[in-house]
Structure 1
Amino acid sequence: MAANGGKEKPTQAAVWTPKLNRYLRSPSTRMAALGGLLTYLSYAYAHGSWANPVLICVSIFIGAFLPSYAKLSNKAELWANNQFGFVTAGRLGRFTPQLAFNLVIFWLMLWGGALNQLGMASVGGVAGAAVVTTLASQGTQYLGGYLVARGVGDANRNTLVGILVNVVLAGLGTAGVPGAREAFLMTGFGLGGALFALGLLSDLRSGMAPKGGIGLFFGTFNPFHNSHLSLLRAAIDQRGLDKVIIHPVLIPKLHVDAFRKGEIRVGRLKDGFQIYEKTDKADSNVDYFPTGNVFLPPETRVALIELALAEADMADEVEVAVYPDIYYSKGFQGVIAEIKRRHPDVQLHIIHGTDFGGMLVRQIADECGWIYPWCILRRDQVSATAIRRGAKGMTPPIVTDVLDQISQNLPTVSAGGRRFRNDNGVLTERNRND
């Protein structure tokens, strides 16, 4: 038969084999498998149920499902944050599905004879074990998030580590092993309870904040849009702020680490935006781009913020401060410390939205001392993602003009009386004599 010259359609095996290989190579997959093994060993040793078929099935299920469980937990918290704007609501959003999961697992294992009934009774039965396990899980996962905010690990993998620690404590604690039961209860009610108490305290600070002081506004601003201006005006008016300090994310610390490891790269340029993409070294269970994979260069984002503030006649009320050395070495924790050093004894307010980045900023601020949150529930449909996809009418006029000049790849970009050299979207201000 003559060849028709067309390309052969790839088989299902050809499509799924590379994905399966990446999944099996993923550190998160191996960590989940370790979680399943630890579940089996902990409960089998403590409860004497080495040959119990229910425990074996539960352990296999946990080993396979754990990465998805971590992702779903993070998404549940993010959904609750976006709906209500309270830290406590977000943590309840994570707590509730995890509690339901733990109730089912403990009931199945008790029904199947995999658990020591006296040991379970000592921690309050199925309900008590599920509540304590979930609280302990919240606490250990919070510690994982604390490390993420400091550039250590990623949200899903750190969540997995927290769950693994909790698995061993729960297995030994529910069997009444001396010392383990007390550690199990203390981790649950102590660490988990403290987590909810800190979140409630943050929410109370948000509702009882005094007037005056300095606002802090951190984010990618990718690009700076109309809602950013609205948030600034509302925060200044409602909190009576003396000024707001904006510090944009330069390159997110998650991406700096992933670039260093060769897990992501800049795949291509489009209209001045850098398109990040995963490489073959990427962990298939890691969400490298929780806020998207399309970025304007840091220098350009800073210039757009300054131009938009000048156009809106807000340059006297808002300061754009960029401390690259501090940010790259110590993150926003270091930036906040520097602002405190420069403005001693001044009340600080953190301005944030309820998306992933906004609530991460809120968490960082909560960990940096007595800072008053000012939270806004975004309902205006203005989206940086939509802007990056070409939506119009969502950015200040001067930002729209600059983005249009960049998209034409003009060698020089002029706006607001300033001139910039344009190198594939990277804006560098020219001297007036150039």
Structure 2
Amino acid sequence: MAPTRSDGNAAPAAARTGKISRYLRSPSTRMAALGGLLTYLSYAYAHGSWANPTLIGVSIFVGVFLPSYAKLSNKAELWANNQFGFVTGGRFGRFVPQLAFNLVMFWLMLWGGALNQAGIASVGGFAGAAVVTTLASQGTQYLGGYLVARGIGDANRNTLVGILVNVTLAALGTAGVPGAREGFLLLGFGLGGTLFLVGLLSDLRSVIAPKGGIGLFFGTFNPFHNSHIALLRAAIDQRGLDKVIIHPVLIPKLHVDAFRKGEIRVGQLKDGFQIYEKTDKADSNVDYFPTGNVFLPPETRVALIELSLAEAGLADKVEVAVYSDVYYARGFQGVIAEIKRRHPGVRLHIIHGTDFGGMLVRQIADECGWIYPWCILRRDKVSATAIRRGAKGMTPPVVTDVLAQISQNLPTVTAGGRHFRNDNGVLTEGK
């Protein structure tokens, strides 16, 4: 039993010990340690630097700092997305700090005598090596996520494989090993360059998009709010859309996997919202809640969308589709394929914001064919996060009304001429 203070709380020392223990048990921590070890072994073998203190120091730093490095890269990309609304801008936002990191690492190893001078010169010096390594890293990170979204591997394992390939090729390539140098350059300029080209084509589609067709609007809608209505009206008007299909996230696939592994759970219910929390099995280096940990049940979010559209007079232009089996089996990639099957040959547009979820949707759409993005830079103060924290005046009247009824735990919720049974925030239509 952990020692406690007089107020019943765990002593600071015990809390710190528990935090350190969770960090050491984290798969990401082990992955980082293996990455540091691989850095040392690869460069020591390729460059003959087994006893070089600079290489040893750099490898230790990589082994400790890698999880934080990944988090900082994600934040840099998110910041750039929100500033510019272009895929290319976000990828440069990730590329620049990673390049700065790699420049410092390669300079240190060159200065410390850990690198073969002729080999490093063959790839453009330490600066050229840093550029190629960063491009290759971008490509392998993206490819790992691409495979995870299709049920191949998991995020940690795929990232580790990417690190293994990237570090090994970088070490051998910068040493001038025949074949490895060419593979290193191909991985960087080929895979990394292709990634930037795909983003650039997506950005061009967003600027020169033709009018007409069907808009796709995916998101958690947790809950549906005034900006969603405004965004729908603007997209329909500016793109001349025949209609928009809304498909809400049911339970995010990240959470489905984490629930299955026992890493997160529903900790409590409050005003109809389910509050997720991490368990002792959670990976301390994983952000399980990039869009928050408070969720309305899927059935309730669907009902609020339908009620809001009817109230706004948009029911004839916006269809709410819920392909549960398709979504849980294949995610939004499967949903897009199903929409294409039901509407063959119809031009598709993806409607999205620039937050984490919005740009993730954009990436999914880019992978599913020639879909035209319609992006909006959110500059208003309306957000689902603020609403969940108690902000008022941000939701359509019918949503405000329903949430008030749910918070009172009424057994039956009535709105828009419809009646729903309320079971701890889960709305099921019927008297």
Could you say which residue in structure 2 is the equivalent of 1:107? 107
Match status 1:389 vs 2:389: yes
Q: Structure 1 runs of 4+ off > 4 angstroms?
A: 151-161
CA contact (8 A) 1:67 1:160 kept: no
Report 1:352-391 matches (<5 A). 352-391=352-391
- Which digits, 9 at most, give the CA deviation of each residue in 1:214-262, with x for residues without a partner? 0000000000000000110000000000000000000000000000000
Could you say which residue in structure 1 is the equivalent of 2:272? 272
Could you say which residue in structure 2 is the equivalent of 1:215? 215
Task: Name the CA distance, whole Å, in 2 between partners of 1:394 and 1:309.
Answer: 15
Q: TM-score, normalised by structure 1?
A: 0.96
CA contact (8 A) 1:353 1:378 kept: yes
* Code of the aligned partner of 2:281: K
Could you say which residue in structure 1 is the equivalent of 2:400? 400
Could you say which residue in structure 2 is the equivalent of 1:127? 127
Could you say which residue in structure 2 is the equivalent of 1:303? 303
CA contact (8 A) 1:36 1:59 kept: yes
Task: Name the CA distance, whole Å, in 1 between partners of 2:188 and 2:91.
Answer: 14
Task: Name the CA distance, whole Å, in 1 between partners of 2:203 and 2:72.
Answer: 24
Could you say which residue in structure 1 is the equivalent of 2:24? 24
CA contact (8 A) 1:70 1:156 kept: no
Shift of 1:77: 0.6
* Code of the aligned partner of 2:236: I
* Code of the aligned partner of 1:305: I
Shift of 1:6: 3.8
SS at match of 2:391: coil
The alignment of Structure 1 onto Structure 2 pairs a total of residues equal to: 427
Report 1:231-250 matches (<5 A). 231-250=231-250
Could you say which residue in structure 2 is the equivalent of 1:225? 225
Task: Calculate percent identity across the aligned residue pairs.
Answer: 87
Shift of 1:150: 3.5
Task: Name the CA distance, whole Å, in 2 between partners of 1:272 and 1:164.
Answer: 45
Match status 1:319 vs 2:319: yes
Shift of 1:168: 1.4
Shift of 1:151: 5.5
SS at match of 2:288: coil
- Which digits, 9 at most, give the CA deviation of each residue in 1:167-215, with x for residues without a partner? 1111111001111111100000000000000000000000000000000
CA contact (8 A) 1:40 1:56 kept: yes
Match status 1:67 vs 2:42: no
CA contact (8 A) 1:28 1:157 kept: no
Shift of 1:287: 0.5
- Which digits, 9 at most, give the CA deviation of each residue in 1:374-414, with x for residues without a partner? 00000011010010011100000000000000000000000
Task: Pick closer, same or farther for the CA change 1:353–1:155 going to 2, 3 Å.
Answer: farther
Could you say which residue in structure 2 is the equivalent of 1:427? 427
Shift of 1:74: 1.0
Task: Name the CA distance, whole Å, in 2 between partners of 1:8 and 1:232.
Answer: 51
Match status 1:44 vs 2:44: yes
CA contact (8 A) 1:156 1:286 kept: no
CA contact (8 A) 2:139 2:192 kept: yes
SS at match of 1:71: helix
CA contact (8 A) 2:119 2:174 kept: yes
SS at match of 2:413: strand
Unaligned runs of at least 5 residues, structure 1: none
SS at match of 2:349: strand
Task: Pick closer, same or farther for the CA change 1:159–1:90 going to 2, 3 Å.
Answer: farther
Q: TM-score, normalised by structure 2?
A: 0.97
Task: Pick closer, same or farther for the CA change 1:22–1:420 going to 2, 3 Å.
Answer: same
SS at match of 2:176: coil
* Code of the aligned partner of 2:24: L
Task: Pick closer, same or farther for the CA change 1:310–1:157 going to 2, 3 Å.
Answer: farther
Report the aligned-residue RMSD. 1.4
Shift of 1:7: 2.9
Task: Name the CA distance, whole Å, in 2 between partners of 1:365 and 1:393.
Answer: 32
Task: Pick closer, same or farther for the CA change 1:67–1:20 going to 2, 3 Å.
Answer: same
CA contact (8 A) 1:157 1:286 kept: no
CA contact (8 A) 1:147 1:153 kept: yes
SS at match of 1:62: helix
Could you say which residue in structure 2 is the equivalent of 1:345? 345
- Which digits, 9 at most, give the CA deviation of each residue in 1:350-387, with x for residues without a partner? 00000110000000000000000000000011010010
* Code of the aligned partner of 2:221: F
CA contact (8 A) 2:402 2:415 kept: yes
SS at match of 1:419: strand
Task: Name the CA distance, whole Å, in 1 between partners of 2:376 and 2:179.
Answer: 45
Task: Pick closer, same or farther for the CA change 1:360–1:152 going to 2, 3 Å.
Answer: farther
Task: Pick closer, same or farther for the CA change 1:342–1:10 going to 2, 3 Å.
Answer: closer
Task: Name the CA distance, whole Å, in 2 between partners of 1:74 and 1:352.
Answer: 19
Could you say which residue in structure 1 is the equivalent of 2:187? 187
SS at match of 2:275: strand
SS at match of 1:265: strand
* Code of the aligned partner of 1:393: G
Task: Name the CA distance, whole Å, in 1 between partners of 2:72 and 2:360.
Answer: 17
Task: Pick closer, same or farther for the CA change 1:247–1:330 going to 2, 3 Å.
Answer: same
